[in-house]
Amino acid sequence: MSELIHTCYRVADLDRSIDFYRRLGFEELGRKPIRDEAINAFLGLPGDGARLELTYNIGHDEPYEVGTGYGHIALAVDDLDGALERLAADGIEPEKPPYRVSEGGSRLCFVRDPDGYRIELLERS
């Protein structure tokens, strides 16, 4: 049996990215150096384990191209408006106001992390 254990992507500023994800409720669970080449930081939501791996390649401080294949990661929130208010206080704004994909569906919106990766905030119904 298989299990999805984490998502990984490269970031230009590890501390800035970790700070952003903390504002979304993630906790830093550990860091692991990869020789003198890189540092991996492992983050997770409380009680869920390390589900997000951020890799900083030492000496690579330029932004990465997000690419056309990356879509987003999705986070469920109990109160989308409250979450957006807290994020706005930290200067994080949604791409556009919350909306529903279909009638009766959950409200959602997207924010971007410091490297331009999209994060979907999906209100639990």
Catalytically active residues, by annotation = 120
Contact between 54 and 17 under an 8 Å Cβ cutoff? The reply is yes
Nearby residues of 57 by Cβ (< 8 Å), 6 or more positions away: 10, 37, 38
List Cβ neighbours of 66 (8 Å cut-off, separation of 6 or more).
Answer: 115, 116, 117
